[in-house]
């Protein structure tokens, strides 16, 4: 996995935010899944927001990645919301026969954040990974 | 096509062609998604192969096509492979049947030299 370009994972208060802005090849999608699991575990984040407004299509591989991320996050005690799906992507997804099992969706980042657990005073995230995530991962 | 980066290249090339053919955005998206499924199939099940894609003209009509040719073991029962849920490898088993619903024309047949040839096309 060394040479794989990685999708950055940003910490936003008590949440993790992922914005997919590039056309991912399959190993990149798998790397994101692993990186997110790692970051949830490190930070104790209770929510993950995945912005897919930059995605021009979702095929069965990316669809499965989104379902898997939601499933992995759930067993790590975090909730996932996928936001910003383009209308043509939604139409294609349904034609393809994908239902994204276990994935919650919202139209906008704001509405997605409302669906995730609110911050609590005792749940401040560990900050040690911040420098790394802001860098060139 | 040998690896997942070739699948990305296939998507980009076919997106350009679909735009040149004047397909609506929703039809471009469907065609590109079908190509992504079939390109991955070619690599995962066919052990790699070749993609030919181009524009179609029929009088004033324009369209785009893509042909996937692999030298893999072939598909014993193509009708069966078009059924949702059918899968021989990893994935959701939506590759073939799903891709067929996204395009106007779909044809899968054994390659005379071994392997499988799949052709898809969508018209404006």
B4-123: CATH number: 3.30.565.10
pLDDT in the model for residue B124: 96
Distance (Å) of CA A54 to CA A18, A123, B33: 11, 30, 15
Q: Rounded to two decimals, what is the model's pTM?
A: 0.87
Give me the number of domains chain A comprises: 1
Q: What is the CATH number of the domain that holds A105?
A: 3.30.750.24
Residue B95: which of A25, A26, A60 has the nearest Cβ? Answer: A60
Distance (Å) of CA B43 to CA B4, B82, B85: 8, 18, 19
Which of A60, A85, A103 to probe the B interface (max B CBs under 10 A)? A60
Residue A2 lies in a domain: no
Query: Do B30 and A58 lie within an 8 Å CB cutoff?
Result: no
ipTM above 0.90, yes or no: no
Interhelix angle B4-20/A26-43, nearest 10 degrees: 120
Residue A78: give the domain boundaries: 9-121
Query: Do B92 and A95 lie within an 8 Å CB cutoff?
Result: no
Q: Locate A70 and state its tokens.
A: 């939601």
Q: How far is Cα A36 from Cα A9, in angstroms, rounded to an integer?
A: 7
Residue A137 lies in a domain: no
Residue A27: which of B4, B29, B91 has the nearest Cβ? Answer: B4
pLDDT in the model for residue A104: 97
pLDDT in the model for residue A67: 96
Contact of B29 with chain A, judged by CB distance below 8 Å, is answered with yes
With H, G, I as helix, E, B as strand and everything else as coil, classify residue B44: helix
Residues of A in contact with B99 (CB under 8 A): 96
> Strands, E, within chain B: which ranges?
49-58, 61-70, 105-110, 116-123
Query: What is the per-residue pLDDT across A56-107, written as a single tens digit (0 to 9) for each?
Result: 999 999 999 999 999 999 999 999 999 999 999 999 999 998 989 899 999 9
With a CB cutoff of 8 Å and minimum separation 6, the contacts of A73 are: A36, A37, A40, A48, A79, A80
Give the whole-number percent of chain B exceeding pLDDT 90: 67
Which pLDDT band, with edges at 50, 70 and 90, does A122 fall under? low
Give the whole-number percent of chain A exceeding pLDDT 90: 78
């Amino acid at each position: 996995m060394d040479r794989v370009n990685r999708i950055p994972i940003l910490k936003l208060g008590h949440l993790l935010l992922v914005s997919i802005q590039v056309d991912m090849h399959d190993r990149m999608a798998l790397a994101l899944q692993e990186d997110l699991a790692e970051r949830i575990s490190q930070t104790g984040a209770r929510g993950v927001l995945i912005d897919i407004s930059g995605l021009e299509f979702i095929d069965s591989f990316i669809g499965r990645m989104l379902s898997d991320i939601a499933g992995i996050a759930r067993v790590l005690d975090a909730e996932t919301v996928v936001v910003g799906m383009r209308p043509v992507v939604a139409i294609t997804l349904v034609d393809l026969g994908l239902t994204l099992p276990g994935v919650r969706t919202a139209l906008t980042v704001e509405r997605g954040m409302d669906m995730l657990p609110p911050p609590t005073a005792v749940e401040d995230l560990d900050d040690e990974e911040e420098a790394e995530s802001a860098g060139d991962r | 096509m040998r690896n997942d980066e070739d699948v990305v290249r296939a998507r980009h090339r076919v997106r350009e062609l679909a735009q040149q053919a004047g397909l609506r955005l929703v039809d471009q998206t469907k065609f590109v998604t079908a190509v992504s499924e079939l390109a991955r199939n070619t690599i995962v099940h066919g052990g790699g192969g070749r993609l030919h894609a181009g524009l179609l003209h029929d009088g004033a009509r324009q369209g785009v096509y893509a042909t996937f040719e692999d030298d893999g073991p072939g598909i014993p029962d193509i009708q069966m492979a078009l059924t949702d849920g059918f899968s021989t490898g990893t994935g959701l088993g939506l590759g073939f049947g799903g891709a067929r619903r996204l395009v106007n024309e779909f044809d899968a047949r054994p390659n005379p030299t071994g392997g499988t040839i799949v052709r898809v096309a969508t018209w404006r």
